[in-house]
Each structure stands twice: as C-alpha cells, then as structure tokens.
Structure 1
C-alpha cells in the first residue's frame, strides 16, 4: 500500500469515490495493469503500464499523454527506462500528497517535465542520474522553455522534497541550484494589443458573416433538413444515416458524371448534384461567397459552413467579452442572461458559463454587448440541428442536458460530415482552432492586405505594448491574430481613456464598454450574477496600465502647465516616466493619477470636488483664483476648446443676468480664454 500521506485520485472531473478501483493503487509504483482512467461507461482508457494514457474522459476533449516514442517529430522520444520513471512521477502527481485537482494542471506539469526526459534520452542518460552530469545540466539549461523555467524549478524541488514518498527524483538540491543559475532570465512580454483599424476590420468581417447567416437562417435550416431526409431515405432510416457512413453507391447527392451513379451496384435514390439543391433553396451564392466552389465540394460544404458559423460565433463573442477561448466552448444554448440593474435600471447582458480556471467559477458570468445575441442565435441554429442528428446516432448516449440545453459549439454530427468518427459524444470537446488559422481554414473571411500592419497600426500597438517583437510585428507583415489578443484588446479599450480615440472604435464599443467598465471596475456588486474574477482582474490590470501609459504620455511637449515648466516637472518627476512597472505600481498605490478632461489632463489622484469633466471654471482659474495646480493643458485640444467657447458664449446670451447659471458660464468662459492664452504663448 502507498504511504498514508497519499491522498488518492482527486481530479475533479474524474468523479470517483474511495471505493472505485482507480481511486488508489494497492502498491507503489502501481502494477502495470492498474487502471488510471475509467470512463463513465466503465471503459478503462488508461492503465499504468501503457505507453500512452488516454485521459479523454477526464479532459472533455481528446487528451493522450505519451511516455514513449512520440508521434510528433518535434516532441522527441523517451527511452523505456525514462518512460518508467516519467510514468511514476505523473502517477505521483495524481495520487500522492496534494494531488492535482485540475486536468489542465496535470497536463501543464506533464508537458513541462517531458522536456527533461526527451533531453536525457537524447543524451543517453537515465533521468534519475542527471544530477551526476553537471555538463549536461548546463547544456539543458540552454534549451529549457524560458517561459516555463520557473515552474520547472518548483516541480523539481517539490519532487526532491518528497523523494521518500515517490521513491524517485531527478535533481538534488545542488543540481536544482546549478540549473537555476544557468537558465537565462526570461523577459516577459505582454499579449499584443490589436490596433483599432485591424481590430475593426476583423470584427466587421465576423459580423458580415453572422448577418448573412441570420438573413438566410430559414433557408439554411430547411436545406439541412432536406439533406438529412435524403440521407435517411438512402440509408433506410434517419438513425442509420446518422450512425454509419454511406457507401459511394447510395449517396443521395452525386454528380451526374460520377461513375458510381452508372454502376449496377448503385442502390440509392438520386437527388442530383448538391449545388442544384443549394440553388433551389437560394443559398448557393451564400455558400460560394464564404466557402468556395460548391460544385467541387458537394454537400460537405454545408458542414464546413456550419462549423465556420460556430467558430466565427465564438470569435465574435470574444470580441465583446473578456472570455478565454476555452470558456466560450463551455457555453450552452441558454447562456445569454439579461439582468436589470437595480440602480441604473438599464439592461445588462451577461454570458453565463463555466471556467476551468477555478472551481468556484462553474457558474461565472461575463458582461457582453447586446449584439452578442446575433452570434448566439446563429450558433444555436447549428447546435440545435447537430444535436438532433446526434440524438439519432445509436453510438452516442446523450444526457438530458445535452438534448435540452446543448453546447453552443458542437462538432459535426450530420451524415455528410467529412469525419469518419461516429461515436464521439458532445462532452468530448473539439480542439480549439487558433485564431491565426482562420486565414488558411477560411480563406474567404479575411483579406490579408487589410491585416497587413501599417505605420499607424504599429505606432498604436507599441504605445500599448512596447515589448512587441520586431520579427513578428513590423510594417508590411500580416498581423498575427491570437485569441488572447481579443481579451487584452477588450480590456484596454474599456479602460484606456483617450488612448483609443478612433471614433469608429468608440462606436463599435458603445453598447459594451460603459457597462463593462462600470461592473468590472467597481460596480459589479449591483448584479446578482457571479462575475468572472479572471476577467475582472484582466480589466483592472489594464486600467492601472492605462493610467501609467497616460501619465507617461504627459511628458511630451503637447501638454503644458498654466504654472510653467517647473510645475509640470514637479508633477511628472514623482516617478520616472521611463519605468513602466514603477508607474503601474504608483497608479495602484494612488501616487499618480490621470483623468482626461475638457482642457487636457488632470494629474490629481484624488477625486476632484469641482468637476473638470463637464465644468472647467475652477480648472482654468475662471473664478478669479489661479488655475488648478494639477491641470496640464493639452495643446492638441485647441479646436475642441474653441468649440467649447462658442457653446459657452451662446449659453451666456440665453442665460438670465446675475443668475447662478450665468455666473457659472462666466467663470468657465474666463477659464477657457485663460487656457487659450497659455496655448498661444507656449
């Protein structure tokens, strides 16, 4: 029996109890035939002695941990001796003290440690002897993934401390210290912020696709149902059509020139080439617009179009939330919730779902835009049809929730899909398609010329993320779209007062930014919903960075103090404008402040009792006192200030002499004239 400190299987998605055969091994290391993973149907998918553990039932997507010869060339092989050691370590993470609770944690640790075993195998060393080879440790330090080095050191140290329980370790304390000293420092870079022009372009194309789908929703659903019944007729029943692949001799949609149609073996009803069916339902031009040649691809293009709708729907939702891509995959058809704010009385649109980041967030919510309803409507149409096809499949057992409230994004279950698998249940999620792969997978979606980086794009991106790699981000290169960029860009757009000045960006965000800013920033307690904490943290980080960036930008000659350069230097010298991290920390500590106001910027970190956003009398010294010490006038706003003067002069003529309103306008006019004099003389 393993030591009493062993906790037993604790992966939350494994849903095991102490009486289950895979809860705890009876010996250590476990016997080769000990079952590691068992599906809900009772099938053993991984035994300890296997060179590949299939942990798909725990992961919810196809997941196999390989301990031997790799199927991927770049991954490297592991020798049999090292394979046994590696399996014992991973089993220790599953069953030992403080075992992994999340499958993603286990996978992260596995992937981090695998580089140790492939490197030792490459150098003909048993991993447990690595501590005896300081030269190999030194050479290994040069190939360790820099971003994972710190985590690897922690894992090695924990294994060393618990060597008496696991019976194995890789490096002792001296070896770990040696490796740590040789690993180069990792320079962390923030996720890139998508420039407004490129962000707007990709969003507009996603929206065009969804609007086209929704405009043709009835025709698409009718065509899909017609095709399903055609397959059912040739297969003998709709169940047979959805449960097995038809042969080429009974396919309903076959080209008239296809030899199979003229064969004596052909036994099916013939509905003609699919493009004729598509034309009859009025969707031929639609499919060719987004997917290409219908005549060449046949009915499979309908599956391609439906899968494209699911992926584009997820991309659209990511543009208007702070979700991760895997979190959008957990959304079900009833995810959209509309709450009435008790204080403002406005409708707040929420997406409710689960997040794998923390156990507590199984019912997390994300603020979103009302326009997200369009994406959900499109995705629901595809999901409803695919769930219906899956319900006819005798190889799949659907839960009641899968039938009544299916996932928004599902793999293809229709009989004409290209996949030959007919037994994959909906809870086994598809591998996520990287956003950058949209360019090759959906070549008609984006124009690569529109995604090429222009000088203004690069300047804006570097302002937000100065550490961008010149190798990837340069004028003329295609912007490398990534899912997390959408999250980062959304957070910055919400919080970056004055940074994102493109009017069209503001227009696109008008439905989402105000509510998201308020509720992620400080007003979330008004809602009954449990807002996702990671999304809130992402927004808050961007908020403080926005203050730091804006404060740093005050150092340019565009901003002047009405009290002269000496006062401006006093404001800006609180923290070195070149040290971004110190500026962020100062923003968090409240040592610096930045608020965009009508006349420029206010550097007062404390709330202003006089306004400044819609009243400038005190800011510019229109009440007879000197201008505010924290005011920095933005010379770039001269035209706006001139327009403000025109508005104030008009209101002054309409106001009653001597009234409080007239006096207020008088003070503001005097302040504006004073500010214009400063701009003129600077």
Structure 2
C-alpha cells in the first residue's frame, strides 16, 4: 500500500454476521476500479461492482427487503456517450457518499431514497447538456431544476431527497468530490419550493372518537369470530393442501383424476363399468369436498363474515384478510407504523407479570433513523392478535419444515405463498431469508369493517381538536363520506386518546382503551425508566409521540371539561375558573393555553369528582379517599360527578357489614360528599 493511501471503510449499516462492502484503499478523491466490490450477498459473494448500473444492497437491509440503487432508470432508450458520462458521475457521487463521508453511517433505506433525486439530476443534466458536476455547483441550474419542467412541478418527496443528498455531499467536501457543491441554504428557489410543499401537507388527523371506537369494536368483533374457529380453518387448509382428493372443490377433484389418468366415478353404474373395464378410477363419494368440510366444521359463518369464497383463491384471500386484521389490531393497540407491524418476528410477544398484573409487550424494529430493536406496550386484544397470527404462521412453517424463532428471518406475517394455497406458489429463497406477506398500507379500502361514515358530530369534534384547520372545506371529511382511514392515523389517535383519559368522553371508547391507557401511563410517562431507556436507543419510538401528545391532550381536555363547560364548577380551582370564564375562548387564548401546557406551567387530569390542575405529583392519591380532593386548592369539582359518586357510594354501603370498621369509614366519606353536594346545590340555587 502506498504511503499516501488510506483504508476507507464503507459508511453503510450492516446487520450482525453479514459481510460488509469491501474497504477502499486509496487517497481521498480517488475512485475505485470497475471491478471494485460494492456489495455482497449474505453468503459473502459479490453482488454488485462499481461498473454496474444497479447497486444491490438487499443483504444489508435488516429486513432483507429488495433494496437497490438504479442509476439509469431515467434513460428511456439506448445508453449513448452522454448518458454514460452522467451515469458514471452519479456512481462517483454515491461512492463518495458511502466511503468518504466523514461521520454518517447510512442505512440501506436512506440510500435507496436517493433514487428519485438521482433520476431528477440525470434527466436535467442530459436535457441541459451539462455535466452532473456543473449542475450541482450552479445555484442557477439547481434552482431551475427545482422549479420543474414545463409546468410539471417536482414532487415534494423528490425535493426532500435532493435536499438530503446535497447536504450529505456538502459534508463529504470538495477534495473528495472534485468540485465545490452548492449549499442548500443559499438555494432560494429550491427552499421556496420546499416551503410550498411543506405548507401543502396536512397534519395527520386523529380519528374522531366515535369512528375510532367503531373501528375498534368492528375489528375486535371479527377477532372474536375468527379465534374459536382458527384451528378448524387451518385444519381445512391443510386438508386442501395435502395432495389428496379430500378438501378439494368438486371441479378440482375431477381435474386431479383426469391428470392422473383416472375415471372420476360418482354413481354405482360408472363404478361397475370402471371395474369391469379394468380402468383406474376415483370414487368421488369417498372424498369430501371443500364445501363438505366447511359445513362439517361449521365454518359457514366465518366464510360469510370474512367475505371469502369457497375456493382455493378464497382460502388464500382469507389468510391474507386475517393477517391484515391481526396487523390492524396490533397497530391500533401499539401505535406501530405499517412497516414496523408488517416485519414483526414470529416470537415477538413478551408477557410480564408485576404485582399479579399481566402486561403485554411486543418486540420488533423501528423503521426510521436506523432500524433498531424496540418494544411496544399493548393490551389483551393486541396479544390475541399476535397469537392468532402465530397460528397462521405456524401452519406455513410446518408446511416448509422451518422452526420459527425470535428472528426477523422468521416473520410473524409470513406469506402463505410458500404453501401454494390459491395456486400462487412462491419458491423458498436459496439464502433461507423468508419474506412477510405483502400488505398495502391502504388495504383498509377492501376491509368493510373499517368503513365508517362521517357525521356532523365527527366534524365538530375535529374542529374542537384543531379549530385552525378548515375541515369542512376538505372534501374527504364531508358528512356522509367514509372516513379516509390511513394506517398512520392509528399512531396519532392512540397517542392522543391514551395519553389523557380526559380527552375521551365516549363511554365505549373509555372502556376499550382503559387497560392500555393505564399500562402506557406506567411504561411511557416522562419519569418511566422504560421510556428513558427506550428513547435513548430509539429516537423515533411511539413513546416520543405519546409524550408529545400528553400536554396537547391535557389542554384539549381542559378546554372541553373546564373552560368551555356548560356546568358550574366548584372547589378552589373550579371557582376561580368560573369567575374568569365567559364561555368563549379566542384563538390566541387557545394557543397560549396550549403553550402553557407544553411548558409544564399548567396540567390537567380528570378525577372522579371533576378535575385536577396540579402540576406536581399529587400527595393525596395515597390516601385512596373519594373525598381527598374536596379541600385541595388544585381541585375542580362538578355537581354532576358528585351526584354519581354519592349514588355509587350508597350502593356500595348496602353491601357492607354495618358493624365493620370499613362501613363506618365509608359512611364518614358519604357524609362529606353529601355535605359538599348540599353546598353546591345551595350555590346553584343562589345563582338561579
């Protein structure tokens, strides 16, 4: 090695045990030979070399997804001399990015996102008859490129990819690149286009509570229907796939007999003829059809409810629908992203017992900022969905003789195509890395149980959550339309509703989220060691969204329950609010309130008697007394809640032994409650 040469290692994240790209030996700014190995497969064999026009990084993707950079997919015809010059320049740029970047390690996902930017650069440089180096060093040309071509604006995603590429290359530096690249901050037209794109993006709306509750109810109802019949359904599919006549459709039985050169016999006289003629035959009466087995196992309702036909294709569709249902329920009750749920490993459920309470955690990988191991809190429904998906996956693994493990190579949502169900057979991969089922994030369009019509109350609720957005002017939120469900809405909705119980006024949704609200409060709140440890490793975990949503949800609950309440408020804090409130909240006041919640200057939590505005932890909770709040200067009391608590306390006393200490204690509590309520009544009478 020359004295001036340096060993440059690739800045690309590589899963444990996988052979990384080759080290480059040379000086900063040198380029490799055409045969330099850019990537290898999981066995260590070369896959891509520098001269290739496509660099395949699949082996370095932790989920083993198809991951490649295509340098020439912007070229429509044959590659000429000008095309080749541009292609080679693009390859040199990416080589510099991966081998010469001073700090950053790139994930395969971030590298392949560059493809759209490379396409834009290649096309524009070719049309303008300039080199890639001239284009990237000219503010005028870059600004013109960002404006788009002939009224066709550049997509926002491509602009972001281009911005990230230029920023990364700027850090690589001119000595490595061989030219001075522009800085993004000086690209006025480019930044203007980015700003307009950002402005056009709408924040993901939370699902209105009524729609959210109905989606949860419908999804869990399907789970209730499928669970008790899952073993029978798998038995049915296995019978259909065991290469015998049993479990096939009637037509499939006939086709199989014909292919085997046998008579398909259904009556005695045909049987007699076959025997006398010495012909091989199949007696159809000895083999039950798919319809027969469906009725025998009482699967009729399941087939009808899940909406799949009694055919091989119907079985394949049914498996996919059940997998999608399980993924949806997991997302609803974890806040996972679509890809995080889709790529869960088979053995992902962790059950913990603390103080006789059972807690469920799901283990997997995050999808952003360098995929890392993570855990999500879930509830019983989420755990049931995992176990149901495991039953389906076990059927596939048995078929292909694989023992599933706690590894990504054995996915929870493995594609049933490996079994050939529905004739869509997928051969086993040579490297043994199995792939999950392809599930579109927009699959909800075909899932009728997720279709809920928007009502006036739903739009009003959206307006209360975000009054600064013109909801009624957006056609997708018009009354009578189906709610435009997107997979990522589950994430924001769970963060908002589970982070503050006061946000949820709908009784059904309160019941549905009760356990997960409590468990997330235990695991995800700011002081939790679990949350601190997880966020120190995984910056984009759902915990971050949950914690960000807490003050927002608290401020919304405070506005709804307190400042905009039609009911007169009592207690020290309640009386103060009533004295100041006039029933109207201006937009600026609302922003100030939300800012104070975010800064921790004020807090709000719903209580059994009304609410509490204490910022610090409450020292009265330890008393476990219904009346502990009454004398507190942070308490907000409501007459309606006092009435409900008094009624519940009276019913509770009827069940106690009148001679017990507990009875005397609870009677004392009731007297205090009634005394407070009489004061409330008298004040309400005084005020008309």
Report what 1:422 is aligned to: 427
Q: Aligned equivalents of 1:68 and 1:292: distance in 2?
A: 43
Unaligned runs of 5+ in 1: 73-77, 235-250, 392-397, 622-627
Question: 1:576–1:435: structure 2 CA closer, same or farther, 3 Å change rule?
Answer: same
Cα distance in 1 for partners of 2:235, 2:340 equals 31
Report the CA distance between 1:487 and its aligned residue: 1.8
1:292 aligns with 2:298: no
Closer/same/farther in 2, CA of residues 93 and 281 from structure 1, 3 Å limit? farther
Match of 1:237 in 2: none
Match of 1:86 in 2: 90
Q: Is residue 2:563 matched to residue 1:558?
A: no
- Structure 2 alignment gaps of length 5 or more: 77-81, 265-280
CA shift, 1:129, in A, is 2.9
Distance across 2 between alignment mates of 1:599 and 1:195: 26
Does structure 1 residue 388 correspond to structure 2 residue 398?
yes
Question: Which one of the candidate residues 476, 483, 489 is aligned to 1:485?
Answer: 489
Separation in 2, partners of 1:111, 1:419: 32
Of residues 305-314 and 666-675 in structure 1, the stretch that sits farther from structure 2 once superposed is 666-675
CA distance in 1, matches of 2:301, 2:577: 65
Q: 3-state DSSP class of the match of 2:69?
A: strand
Give SS of 1:366's match: strand
1:58 aligns with 2:60: yes
Name the residue aligned to 1:514: 518
Partner of 2:544: 537
Q: Secondary structure at the match of 2:251?
A: coil
8 Å contact 2:346–2:404 — kept in the other structure? no
Per the alignment, in what secondary structure is the counterpart of residue 55 of structure 2? Answer: strand
Structure 2 SS opposite 1:446? helix
CA distance in 1, matches of 2:406, 2:603: 50
Contact 1:35 1:47 in 2 (8 A): yes
Tell me which residue corresponds to 1:377. 387
Higher deviation after alignment, 504-513 or 115-124: 115-124
**1:438 is the counterpart of 2:440:** no
> 1:307 and 1:155 mapped to 2: Cα distance?
38
Instruction: Verify: 1:176 aligned to 2:181, yes or no.
Output: no
The superposition leaves residues 203-252 of structure 1 with CA deviations (integer Å, 9 ceiling, x where unpaired) of 33333333333222332232232233217x99xxxxxxxxxxxxxxxx97
Displacement of 1:320 after TM fit? 1.5
Select which of 351, 359, 366 maps to 1:348.
359
Tell me the distance in 1 between the aligned counterparts of 2:144 and 2:578: 51
- 2:277 maps to which residue? none
CA distance in 2, matches of 1:620, 1:539: 31
* CA deviation map 1:442-496 (0-9, x unaligned): 5xx4274xx1211122222343355476243222222122222112222222112
Cα pair distance change 1:416/1:178, threshold 3 Å: closer
Task: Answer 1 or 2: higher relative contact order, Cα 8 Å, separation at least 6.
Answer: 1
In 2, are the aligned partners of 1:36 and 1:48 still within 8 Å (CA)? yes
2:206–2:489 Cα contact (<8 Å) kept: yes
- Partner residue, 2:596: 586
1:238 maps to what in 2? none
Task: Encode CA deviations 1:407-451: one digit per residue, 9 max, x unaligned.
Answer: 2110121133443541436635347523432323x5xx4274xx1
- Aligned partners of 1:256 and 1:272 also within 8 Å: no
Cα 1:541–1:53 change in 2 (3 A) is same
Q: Which residue of 2 aligns with 1:108?
A: 113
TM-score by length of 2: 0.76
User: What per-residue deviation string (whole Å, max 9, x for no partner) do you get for residues 96-134 of structure 1?
Assistant: 223434222223344455545455556665443335472
**Is 2:342 the counterpart of 1:339?**
no
By how many angstroms is 1:543 displaced?
Answer: 1.0
Q: Is the 8 A contact 2:411 2:435 kept in 1?
A: no
Shift of the alpha carbon at 1:346?
1.4
**Given that residues 387 and 402 in structure 1 are in contact (C-alpha distance below 8 angstroms), is that contact kept between their aligned partners in structure 2?**
no
- Please point out which of 199, 222, 247 is paired with 2:235: 222
| Pair 1:414–1:520, CA change in 2 (3 A) | same
Aligned-residue CA RMSD (Å): 4.6
Partner SS, residue 243 of structure 2: helix
The match for 1:243 is none
Paired position in structure 1 for 2:465:
464
C-alpha contact (below 8 Å) 1:37/1:47 kept by paired residues: yes
1:136 CA displacement: 6.2
Structure 1 position 515, deviation (Å): 1.5
2:322 corresponds to 1:309:
yes
Please report how far the alpha carbon of residue 544 of structure 1 lies from its aligned counterpart in structure 2 after TM superposition: 1.6
Q: 1:418 to 1:140 in 2, by over 3 A?
A: farther
Does residue 485 of structure 2 align to residue 474 of structure 1?
no
2: CA distance between counterparts of 1:490 and 1:338? 21
